[in-house]
Amino acid sequence: MNDREKKLLLFALVAVVLGGLLTGTRSYLSYINDLKSDLSMAEQDRQSYEANQMAAEIYELTVDDYETMSLGKDHNHALASYKAWLINLLETELGLEDVRITNEPTREIDGKYHRHTFGINCESDLKTLTDFLYRFETKKLLHRIKDLAVSPTGYDQLQIRIIIEAISLPEAEQRVDIASIAHDESLVDGSYEDYWERISNRNFFGPENKAPTFTPPPIAATVGETESRTLTASAGANEQNLQNVSYSLDTESIPADVKASITGNRLTVSSNEIGRYQFNIHVTDTGLPAKTITKTVAVTISEKPKPRPPTVRPEPPKPPVFNVAQLAFFTSTVQINDRVEVWIHRRDQGQIVKLPVGAKIEIGTVKGRIHAVNQRYLTIITEEQELLEIKAGKALSTAVNVTAQAEALLSP
């Protein structure tokens, strides 16, 4: 065998070996791929089995949970208990009147559960209806509102018609106390305030509620003293006869040096520090939904004014004093034995006063003693030693001061 043949033989042997190796490698890789495919299918089967097991467990837990939310298997008791709960909720808790509740006969559905149907007819407002719906939806019972019809009968007054379905499961307790079943807010995904906001913002039956209008009055007060103002706001255009407004303080906006309070619509402010202050007032109407506006009140606190000097007022003139001497008349002179008397007629008393010479006399402005008397004149001497002369028949008020006249004649 020459060299060329040897090389061909060696090449053939190498080709055979390489072919065998290649064929074996392909078979091995195919085997590995088959194993991987089987492993993947097994993993999918395992996951499917675990998912089915989990679903079965969840189903069992859900069924168990539903059974705790089911009405009792005693259908007559279930009807009576659920109806009693509805009556207590609507009339006692929500205060509705003239509520009419009916029920249909219990029906078996596909041999799996029993359905109880109730009807409610009543009048309410949106706030009370929302309260009912919230309490209904959060009650952990297998019940639902199948139909709800609402029609307005007046401002914020609604005619309500509700159809309710409740379920009794075959594995539930024989009798269930509906009133003892708790409420769960998670069933409506939020608090009552969230629930009310979602419903009231729909505003089914009327135009959009307008925000109230309010212009706060400026307030000027004296340091250390209290000042009050009456607040006046309007519920909005064409709404003031249908709605009311309420006032509240934004307590966080009130300065530390200011005291403020609101009672009804009366705002009271005081401060012991001089200055100009501001704080906010909220005004809320009773529309659906209620609207609130916030306005700023300006308060100016000033010093106490200096007291004014007292005003001196002249004394009022004294009322004129009536001189009763005008009603006393020198009427006559009477002599009895050696006694001479002066008779003076006092018309104010309706009598005759009889006085001898030397007697004291005091009638009106005429004061003194009887000095002398004759048929023509009566002379009276005063405490100042002045002579007063009255003619017969004249009133004592016509007395002439003869002493003053004489002095006037003698004076140069």
pLDDT the model gives residue 205: 58
What pLDDT, on the 0 to 100 scale, is given for residue 243? 84
Q: Which CATH superfamily is domain 75-200 in?
A: Ribosomal protein S6/Translation elongation factor EF1B (3.30.70.60)
**Can you give the pLDDT at residue 60?**
61
pLDDT of 314 reads: 83
Would you say the CATH fold of 324-410 matches that of 75-200? no
Taking the C-alpha atoms of residue 317 and residue 402, their distance in angstroms, rounded to an integer, is: 31
| Cβ–Cβ < 8 Å for 335, 326 | no
Cα–Cα distance between 343 and 356 in angstroms, integer? 9
The position carrying tokens 């064929």 is 23
Taking the C-alpha atoms of residue 293 and residue 155, their distance in angstroms, rounded to an integer, is 23
Vertex 235, ends 230 and 238: CA angle to 5°? 130
Q: From first to last of its 412 residues, what are the pLDDT tens digits of the chain?
A: 566 666 666 666 666 656 666 665 666 667 677 777 777 787 777 777 666 666 655 556 566 677 788 888 898 998 999 999 999 999 999 998 889 999 999 999 888 889 999 999 999 888 888 899 999 999 988 899 999 988 888 767 889 999 999 989 888 888 988 888 888 888 887 788 888 877 776 655 566 778 899 999 989 999 989 999 999 998 877 776 778 899 999 999 999 999 999 999 999 999 999 999 999 999 998 877 788 999 999 999 998 888 888 888 888 887 777 788 888 898 888 887 778 889 889 888 889 988 888 889 998 888 899 888 888 888 999 888 888 899 988 988 888 888 888 888 877 6
Q: Tell me the Ramachandran region of residue 353: left when phi exceeds 0, alpha when psi lies from -120 to 50, beta otherwise.
A: beta
The enclosing H or E element of 264 equals: none
Strand partners, 157: 154
Residue type, position 399, single letter: A
**Six-digit token pair at 144?**
């639902």
Coil, strand or helix: which one is 23? Answer: helix
CA distance 297 to 216: 6
CA trace torsion 128, 130, 131, 133 (10° rounding): 130
In CATH, the number for domain 324-410 is 2.30.30
Q: Supply the pLDDT for residue 272.
A: 92
Count of other CB atoms within 10 angstroms of residue 268: 14
User: β-pairing, 100-103 with 360-363?
Assistant: unpaired
Task: Classify domain 213-302 at the CATH class level.
Answer: mainly beta
d(CA 228, CA 216): 13
Residue-range domain boundaries for the chain? 75-200, 213-302, 324-410
Q: How far is it, in rounded angstroms, from Cα 390 to Cα 134?
A: 110
Residue 70's pLDDT is: 86
Q: What is the pLDDT of residue 147?
A: 92
Contact 298, 276 (CB under 8 A): yes
pLDDT at residue 405, rounded to an integer: 83
Whole-number Å distance between alpha carbons of 220 and 175: 70
Residue-level pLDDT at 68: 80
Q: How far apart are CA 385 and CA 406, in angstroms?
A: 13
Between vectors from CA 5 to CA 3 and to CA 7, what angle results, nearest 5°? 70
| Percentages of the chain per state (helix, strand, coil), in multiples of 5 | 35, 35, 30
